[in-house]
């Protein structure tokens, strides 16, 4: 059986940018089987589930999962939402390390976010007196494995790792800092810095060049990675990779499904195509092709910018520019 990628076209502008991703994959000199599966709002309408069982089985059996944005205003505030399917997919595939690169000019940093634990997965609810609660929980083993991933990645870059926490207030952060320090003994060639999250947020704005790799818990990583994207071009061009110890990774753009421009053919596919580059590198071990796609997207951003970047190119024309740059 050859290399197989499950493509989840998603919602609103999702199918539009996913189509460009498929065109780019078809243009590469590698053999891939691309298997499209329902996921998100469309699947929810058809089956009552955002992540149908058949889609989950296909994702488990794939070499990589390439996901377009999901979410639809029809389900805002609903008890069952498309985003719940994504949370389940991440958990089922145990992709605990989310990689969020942010680079522009002399800024070149990577945030490693723990993805399947913490406050987004802890107990939550409402008590009889009206109190509402969300619980942040971590086991040391969950911190250890994401820290080890971050150290290993830092070793391949600038050998500097900033571990972000709130150890002056939170018990989970104090344990986080202790475990990260213990793991650092295995990576003596990597310089470790502990930094409080509020200071990290400020430093990212003022001196982003000082960072190489940052490792954060789920919520801190969620916030800081969007901040890092904002200072290096915005969410519209940001990609992400979510990896585990085995099995397929999930590769997805950072931006949302943009229902306000869906169907107009003007969505910027740059983030989706940079996601393809991450998938080629971290999911399929096709590093040469990953670099080629990344260079082609950079060229297309200069030659065929979409309206959100001040240009006039359509979604398909941007894809044309990428494919032309690849040839």
Catalytic pick among 35, 94, 108, 120? 120
Buried b (16+ CB within 10 A) or exposed e, 194-203: bbbbeebbee
Cα 294 off chain centre by: 16
**Can you give the pLDDT at residue 38?**
96
Does residue 198 carry a catalytic annotation?
A: yes
One-character DSSP codes across 243-267:
E-SSS-EEEEESS---GGGTTSS--
Token representation of residue 185: 């003994």
Tens digit of pLDDT at every position of the chain (327 positions): 579 999 999 999 999 999 999 999 999 999 999 999 999 999 999 999 999 999 999 999 999 999 999 999 999 988 889 999 999 999 999 999 999 999 888 999 999 999 999 999 999 999 999 999 999 999 999 999 999 999 999 999 999 999 999 999 999 999 999 999 999 999 999 999 999 999 999 999 999 999 999 999 999 999 999 999 999 888 778 899 999 998 899 999 999 999 999 999 999 999 999 999 999 999 999 999 999 999 999 999 999 999 999 999 999 999 999 999 998
Catalytic pick among 35, 226, 308, 320? 226
Does residue 74 carry a catalytic annotation?
A: no
Token representation of residue 182: 């213990």
Catalytic pick among 222, 285, 294, 308? 222
Does residue 222 carry a catalytic annotation?
A: yes
Does residue 11 carry a catalytic annotation?
A: no
Token representation of residue 223: 């916030």
**Can you give the pLDDT at residue 210?**
97
Token representation of residue 184: 């650092």
**Can you give the pLDDT at residue 1?**
57
Q: Domains of the chain by range and CATH?
A: 1-95+244-327 (3.40.718.10), 104-233 (3.40.718.10)
Catalytic pick among 26, 61, 74, 198? 198
Q: Are 123 and 246 in contact (CB under 8 A)?
A: no
One-character DSSP codes across 46-72:
HHS-SS-HHHHHHHHHSSEEEE-----
Token representation of residue 45: 């309408």
Does residue 120 carry a catalytic annotation?
A: yes
Query: Any residues with CB less than 8 A from the CB of 62 and at least 6 apart, and which?
Result: 4, 5, 6, 35, 248
**Can you give the pLDDT at residue 3?**
95
């Amino acid at each position: 059986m050859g290399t197989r990628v499950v493509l989840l076209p998603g919602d609103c502008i999702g199918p539009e940018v996913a189509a460009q991703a498929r065109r780019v994959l078809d243009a590469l000199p590698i053999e891939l089987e691309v298997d499209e599966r329902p996921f998100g709002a469309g699947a929810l309408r058809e089956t009552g589930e955002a992540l149908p069982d058949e889609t989950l089985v296909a994702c488990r059996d794939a070499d990589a999962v390439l996901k377009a944005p999901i979410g639809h205003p029809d389900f805002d505030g609903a008890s069952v939402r498309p985003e719940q399917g994504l949370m389940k997919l991440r958990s089922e595939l145990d992709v605990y390390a989310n990689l969020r690169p942010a680079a522009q000019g002399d800024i070149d940093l990577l945030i490693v976010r723990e993805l399947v634990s913490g406050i987004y997965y802890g107990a939550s609810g409402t008590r009889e007196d009206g109190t509402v609660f969300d619980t942040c929980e971590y086991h040391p083993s969950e911190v250890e494995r994401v820290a080890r991933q971050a150290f290993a990645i830092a070793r391949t870059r600038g050998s500097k790792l900033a571990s972000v926490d709130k150890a002056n207030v939170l018990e989970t952060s104090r344990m986080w800092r202790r475990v990260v320090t213990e793991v650092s003994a295995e990576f003596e060639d990597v310089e470790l810095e502990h930094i409080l999250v509020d200071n990290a947020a400020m430093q990212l704005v003022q001196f982003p060049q000082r960072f190489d790799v940052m490792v954060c818990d789920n919520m801190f990583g969620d916030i800081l990675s969007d901040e890092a994207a904002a200072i290096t071009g915005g969410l519209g061009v940001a990609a992400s990779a979510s990896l585990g110890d085995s099995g397929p990774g999930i590769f997805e753009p950072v931006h949302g499904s943009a229902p306000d421009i869906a169907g107009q053919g003007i969505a910027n596919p740059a983030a989706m195509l940079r996601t393809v580059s991450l998938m080629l590198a971290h999911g399929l071990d096709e590093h040469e092709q990953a670099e080629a796609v990344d260079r082609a997207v950079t060229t297309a951003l200069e030659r065929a910018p979409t309206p959100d970047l001040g240009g006039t190119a359509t979604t398909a024309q941007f894809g044309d520019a990428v494919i032309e740059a690849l040839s």
